[in-house]
Chain A
Amino acid sequence: MALVHEKQIAPYTGAYPEEEFWNDYLRVTGGEGNLQLAEMVIHESPNCLDWARSHGVRFQPSLSGTLHLGRTNAFFMGGGKAMVNSYFACAERLGVRVLYDAECVDLEIKDGEFRSATVLQNGQRVSFPAKVVVAAAGGFQSDLQWMKKAWGAAVDNFLFRGTPYDKGLVLKALLDHGAESIADPTQGHMVPIDARSPKYDGGIVTRVDCVTLGIMVNKNGERYYDEGEDRWPKRYAIWGRLVAQQPDQISYALIDSKVFDLFMPSRYPAIQGNTIGEVARQFNLPVEKVEATVAEFNRAVQPGKFDHTIMDGCKTAGLTPPKTNWAQRLDQPPFYGYPLRPGVTFTYFGVKVNEQAAVLMKTGKPAANIFAAGEIMSGNILPRGYVGGFGLTIGNVFGRIAGEKAAKVAREGRSAVREAAYAAK
């Protein structure tokens, strides 16, 4: 989770001032998001840590394997599932009843007012009438048909890093009942992951962090983007899309033994060979083309002092595309390669919300008793690009806003709903 801290506080390793966070945000999104909401989240972010802690979430001292993210990101002890477990345990302590193996498949919405949710439980459709609803049901990335409408057949080559159940049913219900949408359906958090990963739920261990240390070639054996543009944590989110745009949505990260120990081990073993050609052959790549690409790259590498921990300025000259940092000749056998495919974390396409977390309807008015939080509305702030850990920050800030507003509506009853709806008109 990323949040503003003007000074170093535990568990962060250094300060992350508001201005820096804001600039990071503007750079990755090109300023295309709802700046008012973004500013609100970033400004409110320092409170996320204590709120999470006071609801049972544990953080751990800066991790060794987190891509030097310790300054800007706090990591949950035990990971994301442990965080969710803590919140569920907290909710149950407060008397909230949680239904498991229950899928919300539809919402009844009349004239912009929520009436009930339809839940599929043990094969039965059960209706839950309620005064208010908070939609916090994620993106739609696991619905392959929906993804195909956006991406076409390329989706067959995509992998999905999380649950197969995130099919966007609630998102679809909201849109069908007149909610205004936000962001482009092809946009989302997408990173290059090992092509040997399972279709769903491979999670964090399928990442391959050696792209900046070597070269990336597509199935034709060609390089296509500057591997050394920026530090890996700031670039892995764009590489998912880059791989998705290559023929057959596949690429190969090639490195030599000089850098093999400089990145996190991954779930799957590297493909190994005594020559680059041997590695290329195992991937069924055009061997001569790959050899030529590597030879051309090696010739273009300029002398410099390689240091993977900083932007070391080791670059190529006269090469298109160039490699502007960490450019070293691939010359020390054995050589290694990893096959990479786009791994979708979550989609940005969602419902439009206002600063109260109320869902905006196509009429332009906010729904009086429908609120949204998390990935289902993160596209308001992140229509494209990503800042590491920002999704969790948006979830925390908007989750709290949506919860507070929903509680108010629920407590003050339907009259308050009507009043609010009236006031909205």
Chain B
Amino acid sequence: MPQSELMSEGEQMMKVCNACRYCEGFCAVWPAMEFRRTFKASELTYLANLCHNCSECYYACQYAPPHEWGVNAPRTFARIRAESYQQFAWPKALASAFRANALVVSLVSALMLVLFLFGATRGLGSKSLSAAVPGGDFYQIAPHEVLVVSFGLVALFAALALLIGLVRFWRHSGEQVSDLLNPPTLLTAVKDVLRLKYLDGGGWGCAYPEEKSSQSRRWFHHFTFYGFLLCFAATTLGFIYYYGLGLKGPYGYTSLPVVLGVLGGIGLLIGPAGLYFLQLGRNRDITDEDQHGMDMAFTLMLVLTSASGLLLLALRETAAMGGLLVVHLGIVMALFLTLPYGKFVHGLYRSAALVKYALERSRKKTLGE
């Protein structure tokens, strides 16, 4: 659907919704809508990213199909979100990676696997990849400096791309960059993010994967989110151990980086797997089919990351270690490379939208007119 047509569909929908307002208690989108009387593209983009896709409003809606107005807020917002991901992508040339995301993720993963396999075999020379390494010291296969430099550069690039996207989104929504870090509203938004307040549907959860309200999506998302954070913490701690304390890895099973990593890995296994299966049972009348591949690719990549990481840890003293290491590193590298061009960005834009919502509430005045 061309962008102008999509925005006009969104505008018409908002005129119906703003005259009805019966969904007010479900989430932040509706009170944010009520601050407005006009719905320009920038406002629709903000509202669409504020939408957590819980779908409660669709089942409640009197104007949903088969009504002649066919109001389908979850689908319309999902399409507008997809547009916005491309719109704010940096560098622009890579925006199209959003459109064929599953394909891009597959190709990048394959490429990374080949690259790491090639690198490892070259580095090992005459030694076999499947020979057990004493103490599970994977640095003998992938030297520490190589990992730090390669992952460091990719992580920096991903962080820069995400940051630029975030700033673009924020400016496009009509806000000043300085207001993004306004402490009281930032705190409110952080609380909303950490609690996933708006997947709660006012206490009943959300209509996901189908009509019956449930907290399952919220919990699986919590597993994913906190699992990701723990893994991030484990990696950061490993970095500090190595460079700050001079402790060379690999660390023991009871060391803090490993414990955090294991806990995070378990979360990152249960969460994305749960989300994946919920998504499979989703009511397709309200999804944007074009994003299905991207959603699935991201959750699968997270599952593969944690599964390969946990396996690697468990089998690090066996002959399987070399092969698992190559697989794990390849997947993690592909995950990082594709982070700014896939489902991951939803977290940034939604968090920013929640900051804007908190700002708007604190300003408590009608915008638009």
Contacts and interface: CB of A to CB of B under 8 A. Distances in A.
Interface of A: 58, 60-61, 63-66, 75-82, 85, 89, 198, 201, 203-207, 261, 264-267
B65 to A, nearest CB: 12
B73 to A, nearest CB: 12
B92 interface: no
Nearest to B25: A60
Contacts of B15: 265, 267
The majority secondary structure among interface residues of chain A is: loop
A265 B57 contact: no
Nearest to B21: A65
B253 interface: no
Contacts of A58: 25, 202, 204
Nearest to A269: B15
B20 A204 contact: yes
Contacts of A264: 19, 21
Interface in B52-66: 56-57, 59-63
B211 A85 contact: yes
Contacts of A82: 22, 59-60
Contacts of B67: 201
Contact of B37 (A75, A81, A89, A265): A265
A162 B196 CA distance: 36
Nearest to B19: A205
B60 A85 contact: yes
B24 interface: yes
Interface of B: 15-16, 18-26, 31, 34, 37, 56-57, 59-63, 67-68, 202, 204, 211-212, 366, 369
A76 B20 CA distance: 12
B260 to A, nearest CB: 39
B34 A204 contact: no
Contacts of A79: 20, 22-23, 60-62
17 contacts: A60-B202, A64-B21, A64-B24, A64-B34, A65-B21, A65-B24, A66-B21, A77-B22, A77-B26, A77-B202, A78-B57, A78-B61, A79-B60, A201-B67, A261-B369, A265-B18, A267-B15
Contacts of A64: 21, 24, 31, 34
A203 B22 CA distance: 12
Contacts of A265: 15, 18-19, 37
A269 to B, nearest CB: 8
B197 to A, nearest CB: 14
A78 B26 contact: yes
A204 B22 contact: yes
B56 A78 contact: yes
From B15, B37, B57, B369, residue with most partner A Cβ within 10 Å? B15
B361 to A, nearest CB: 12
B16 A78 contact: no
A245 B34 CA distance: 35
Nearest to A80: B62
From B16, B59, B62, residue with most partner A Cβ within 10 Å? B62
Nearest to B63: A203
Nearest to B12: A267
